[in-house]
Amino acid sequence: MKLLVIGSGGREHAIVRALKKSPKASEIHVLPGNGGIALDAICAGVRATDIGGVVDYAREHGIDFAVVTPDDPLCLGMVDALADAGIPAFGPDRRAAAIEGSKVFAKGLMKKYGIPTAAYEVFDEAGAALEYVRAKGAPVVVKADGLALGKGVVVARTVAEAEEAIRNAMVNRAFGESGARVVIEEYLEGPEVSVLSFTDGSTIVPMVPAMDHKRALDGDQGPNTGGMGAVAPNPYYTGEVAAECMEKIFMPTMRAMNAEGRPFRGCLYFGLMLTKDGPKVIEYNCRFGDPETQVVLPLLRTDLLDIMEAVAAGRLSEVRVEWLDKSACCVVLASGDYPGHYEKGLPISGLVDGQLPGGEAEVFHAGTKLLDDGTLVTDGGRVLGVTALGNSLHEAVHRAYDAAGRISFDNMHRREDIGARALAAPGQGRQACQ
């Protein structure tokens, strides 16, 4: 089968490497991909948001099955356009992608169907929003309604911070039309868990639970980023919590989307907070998480293409999804000063054909470029993700850092405490390594 993957990050590289293991995958194309992905697949310079360009490319190259993962093309209707062209694809259609594309829609869905989430109010006028936070006090969370490259959420510790977030989104329009409306939400506390799931609208299969590390610096300090590393499984997500989530969150969300006439087929991501009052939804994503995918897919035993085809065809119940009984840790190597301004084009050392020569870990490329002479250089904020497996979380973390230590480029930045919070969880038998 000829496959097409849309996107250019570490997540897409992890998907490509998982699909490559399928005996059915004869050729994998990626639009636009990156320097490292180009060492594993055929990349071409069509933007992920260029719906017409992607459909034309898929037709010209006889693509049998497509995988659409970034939020923008999904919300723009890439899967609908591919379907119109007769090309089956993994990913939700435009109407189902609204579960991520509009926070107002997602919050309304949870309220209507009694799915546990933070209490909230919606505002389409800055004056009323400002008045509300002054009356309500802090901490409080301000979220732009639409997609904002992960920057639309501000956890405000003070009323002044909340006011600034409202002005930034609604008055200065820092995220364009995405900030025309904001959701102001109750502040929740507890361990966070990312549960990615496969669903075809009738069956929902949660994947191994993961933990992201969103802040730039150790100890969860510094600005929010796209994610500086991840571990799986997440030890805070016990069997008991999993059963409660299935009953109160996962099944009700799948049914709610069906009842709204927006059946969801693809990867539905639940960002959960395990509060003292039980698990609550912090956010839905209509796609695989990044960098969670880089720890979840290496633990998948079943053929990913079999699962994706079954999801797209509405026969997920026929597939048995199995996992390795191991742990995984991904350490992200970022450009210095990311998520602020950073330099590009710096040569990366330690890799041969984009991977570590010893094969002790997998390297997923996020922001890399391959020069004509074969040199691999940095080309983004997050440059690489290094994923290692282990028989315990402790072993996986140790191996990932060991492997990451063999890769370098000028001004490289990484967190030194990926996995520390997970290792400090009850039952892990270890103190945090900070």
Site for ligand AMP, rule CB under 6 A? 118, 141, 150, 153, 155, 185-188, 192, 214, 271, 282-283
Q: How many helices (H) and strands (E) does the chain have?
A: 14, 23
Cβ closest to ligand GLY, residue 69 vs residue 335: 69
Amino acid residing at 425: A
> Residue 274: how many CA atoms within 13 Å on its side-chain side?
18
The least distance separating ligand AMP from the CB of residue 224, rounded to whole angstroms, comes to: 6
If the CB atoms of residues 66 and 141 are measured against ligand AMP, the closer one turns out to be 141
**218 interacts with, out of ligand AMP, ligand GLY, none, CB within 5 to 8 A per kind:** none
Q: Least CB distance from residue 153 to ligand AMP, whole Å?
A: 4
Instruction: Give the CA distances from residue 41 to residues 13, 116, 212, in Å, rounded to whole numbers and listed in that order.
Output: 9, 41, 27
Give the residue with the Cβ less far from ligand GLY, 71 or 309.
71
For ligand GLY, the nearest residue by Cβ is 289
Q: What residues form DSSP beta bridges with 266?
A: 199
Strands 140-144, 182-186: pairing is antiparallel
Write down the least CB distance from residue 117 to ligand AMP, Å: 8
* Cβ atoms of residues 3 and 22 within 8 Å: no
> How far apart are alpha carbons 399 and 417 in whole angstroms?
13
Any idea what DSSP says for residue 218? G
* Comparison of 210 and 356: residue with beta carbon closer to ligand GLY: 210
Choose among ligand AMP, ligand GLY, none what residue 306 binds, the Cβ cut-off being 5 to 8 Å by kind: none
**Residue 99, binding choice from ligand AMP, ligand GLY, none, Cβ under 5 to 8 Å by partner class:** none
Nearest distance from residue 150's CB to ligand AMP, in Å?
A: 6
Residue whose CB is less far from ligand AMP, 27 or 283: 283
Least separation in angstroms between CB 139 and ligand AMP = 8
Residues 210, 225, 414, 391, Cα dihedral to 10°: 0
Nearest distance in Å: CB 88, ligand AMP:
30
Residues that bind ligand GLY (CB under 6 A): 212, 227, 285, 289-290, 292
The least CB distance from residue 254 to ligand AMP, in Å, is: 20
Q: Which is nearer to ligand AMP, 155 or 377 (CB)?
A: 155
Q: Residue 48 binds which entry of ligand GLY, ligand AMP, none, with Cβ cut-offs from 5 to 8 Å by kind?
A: none
CB of 313 to ligand GLY, least distance (A): 26
Alpha carbons within 13 A on the beta-carbon side of 351: 28
Judged by CB, which is closer to ligand GLY: 227, or 385? 227
Measured at CB, which residue is nearest to ligand AMP? 283
Q: Which is nearer to ligand AMP, 64 or 186 (CB)?
A: 186
User: How far is the C-alpha of 239 from the C-alpha of 227, rounded, in Å?
Assistant: 26
Q: What is 373-431 written as a DSSP string?
A: TS-EEE-SSEEEEEEEEESSHHHHHHHHHHHHTT-B-TTEE--S-TTHHHHTSTTS-S-
* Alpha helices, DSSP H, located in 77-198: 78-84, 94-101, 103-113, 126-136, 159-166
**Residue 185 interaction partner, one of ligand GLY, ligand AMP, none, beta carbon < 5-8 Å per kind:** ligand AMP
C-beta atoms surrounding 247 within 10 Å: 10
N-term to C-term CA, the chain = 47
> CB burial class (10 A; 0-12, 13-18, 19+) of residue 390?
middle
The partner in contact with residue 188, picked from ligand AMP, ligand GLY, none with C-beta cut-offs of 5 to 8 angstroms by kind, is ligand AMP
Angle at the Cα of 389 from the Cα atoms of 386 and 394, rounded to 5 degrees: 100
φ, ψ at 215 (rounded to 5°): -80, 155
Least distance CB 152 / ligand AMP (angstroms): 7
Least distance between ligand AMP and beta carbon 72 (Å): 15
Q: Report the amino acid identity of residue 414.
A: R
330, 389 contact by CB (below 8 A): no
Decide whether 31 or 210 has the Cβ nearer to ligand GLY.
210
- Work out what residue 289 binds among ligand GLY, ligand AMP, none; the CB cut-off runs from 5 to 8 Å by kind: ligand GLY
Residue closer to ligand AMP (CB basis): 28 or 118 = 118
Q: Is the peptide bond before 339 cis (omega within 30 degrees of 0)?
A: yes
**Longest Cα separation, the chain:** 61
78 binds, among ligand GLY, ligand AMP, none (CB under 5 to 8 A by kind): none
